[in-house]
Amino acid sequence: MDVLYLMWDRGTVVLSGDVPAQIRALSFVRFDARVGKYRALGMYYYRIKAVLDSLGVKYEDGVLSPVCRSVEAARRPSLRQYQEEALRSWLRGRRGVVVMPTGAGKTYVAIEAIARVGQPALVVVPTIELLRQWERRLSEHFPGRVGVWYGEEKRELCITVTTYDSAYVAVEHLGNRYPLLVFDEVHHLPSESYRQIAELSPAPYRLGLTATPERADDLHMLLPELVGPVVYRMAVSEAAGRYLAEFDVEVVKVGLSEEEMARYKELERVYRGYIRARGLRFRSPSDFGRLVMLAGRSAEARRALEAWHEMRRMLFESRSKVDAVADILRRHPDGKILIFTEYTALAREVSRRYLIPEVTYDMPDQERELVMEMFRRGEVKALVTGKVLDEGIDVPDVDVVVILGGTSSSRQYVQRIGRALRLKPHRAKIYEVVTAKTREVDISRRRRRGVG
């Protein structure tokens, strides 16, 4: 009988030698006629091993080539009870997603998971800001063992932090060098490109972190196969008052001028008239994509799409929202305030009117970090931003969050209000500024309904 070999080849596991019938029958194993061997995507490595072990088959395993032998923490994080529960739930299978609100300390769960597994880990994050934040936090516990992989900076160490974009490009190189994958903001992973990071990696251990895994396009249904099932879930309401600050939400309604409202109603008539006439229903981004496709072929559809975009601009760039900020600032003269907008133009106007620093994507890294550090130290009392601070960035001690515009996404809402929910002796305040008598009132209601 030929010896069975498992080998790694550019994102796939190659089986050569005497491959058992039970392995050949697996739906994810394919015969590659080009090389005369069986092959499977890297992510099925652990399942192939489980079947072989259950059959008692002996095999030579050359798939994993870890970047170092082991990982030991110089300092272990002190976990709260719920963090320990989340970790225990994950350790049962060493695969799965942990769902906890922004500010509840998901990072510390991941750090302890890395320490308990004791093997090299690749941490994947959505932005450069988060990469730097993770690098700093990990280095406190694993000094000298943390590298980063993005752009021109490629330092591969026992724990390496990378972005989704960089990991997607380098997965064939990095894939088999880290037995543990940690995906921060794991809801990004199921997208068509990013999912290949998980598919082409043989890492047997996988941890996903997010405040809300659900996606409007339902692609979160792929997470159990890519990372594992949700193994622990904590809602904002469970954490508020014990582990997060209690909070109050105040909806501030502003109006359009008579002229603006007349224009809004006309745009709404054009948009809704076309949607009703065509029997279109929008339950997800892919459904809305149908209107975009139709707009490429039909002048009527194009007018409806243009009407939709102009309606959004009227709601999310309303001057009356900028005016409303003045009253909120007066109410909280000593508070640390974070203001979110949907569009950069409105953030810029708020910044100009009230002399509040603006944080944008196109700011040089050093300038953005300087502004953030001044805010952390209290030298700057308020910041305004578009979507830059939606995800993960550590902005401690925020007392007030002002939302001037956003989607109906509960995820975005949870991430934004989470900036004010770090545990503190007083209640946090959330202001939602919405345009009365428009669809924005319903959008606000839907996103708040999604916060359990």
| Alpha-carbon radius of gyration of the chain | 25
Question: How many CB atoms within 10 Å of residue 125?
Answer: 27
CA distance 31 to 206: 27
- Which fold, 4-62? MutS, DNA mismatch repair protein, domain I (3.40.1170)
> What is the token pair recorded at 278?
């065509």
Q: 244 vs 236, 372, 426, CA distance in Å?
A: 8, 22, 11
CA distance 96 to 377: 36
pLDDT at 203: 98
CA distance 169 to 363: 25
What pLDDT score was predicted for residue 389?
Answer: 63
Give pLDDT, residue 196: 98
3-state class (DSSP) for residue 313 = helix
Cβ-based neighbour number of residue 390 at 10 Å: 22
247-255+318-449 and 81-234 share a CATH fold: yes
Mean pLDDT by 10 residues, the chain (452 residues): 90 96 97 96 98 96 97 96 97 97 91 98 93 96 97 95 97 95 97 97 98 87 98 83 74 91 94 87 69 86 92 86 95 92 88 93 81 88 79 72 75 70 74 90 76 56
pLDDT score, position 285: 61
63, 8 Cβ separation under 8 angstroms: yes
Tokens matching residue 213: 């895994």
Local structure of residue 285 (DSSP, 8 states)? H
Task: Tell me which fold the domain 247-255+318-449 belongs to.
Answer: Rossmann fold (3.40.50)
**Which residue, chain included where needed, has tokens 């620093």?**
357
The domain covering 81-234 belongs, at the CATH homologous superfamily level, to P-loop containing nucleotide triphosphate hydrolases (3.40.50.300)
- The CA distance from 109 to 210, in Å, is 12
Domain chopping of the chain, boundaries: 4-62, 81-234, 247-255+318-449, 258-316
pLDDT for residue 390: 60
Taking the complete model, does pTM exceed 0.85, yes or no? no
pLDDT at 248: 85
